[in-house]
Amino acid sequence: MLDYDGLGAALADKSNLADGPRGKLLDTFKHEIATLMIGLRRIQVVGRNDRPVDTAKICDLCDCPVEEARVYIDGKVKRAGVWANMCLPCFLERGSGIGWGVGQLYWHDGLGWQCLAGGPPGPAADDEID
């Protein structure tokens, strides 16, 4: 079950933004973050990244074709010390989260792949919003 209330509460607690707690937050709420980002793309809250990306064709963990599912995560595999292109089910089971240095969420909109979340943070990433 998705816990958007828990994600919101965790984001409101600034102590979760430091490196250690951030990693735990990204892992704990990876399903919520992935589905939220896809939903935000569908309702056009987040835009596309037009930079070409070298994209995956299959999930490195289960060999399923990621293009059919239109989503994959290029991210750290828990307890393996490696990165992999993962389909959503493999990511939910073995991924470490979505965020810079942890994993990037890619979405195929029918025209091409785009990075929806987890890419390099821009200058606004450190801005405080109160």
Residue 20 DSSP one-character state: H
Give me the least distance between CB of 103 and Zn ion, in Å please.
Answer: 14
**How many binding residues for Zn ion (CB under 5 A)?**
5
Q: Where are the alpha helices (DSSP H) in 29-110?
A: 30-42, 66-69, 88-94
Q: Which is closer to Zn ion, CB of 25 or CB of 96?
A: 96
The footprint of Zn ion on residues 42-61 (CB under 5 A) is 59, 61
Q: Which is closer to Zn ion, CB of 33 or CB of 61?
A: 61
Q: How far apart are CA 51 and CA 1, in angstroms?
A: 34
Q: How far apart are CA 91 and CA 83, in angstroms?
A: 11
**Positions that interact with Zn ion (CB under 5 A):** 59, 61-62, 87, 90
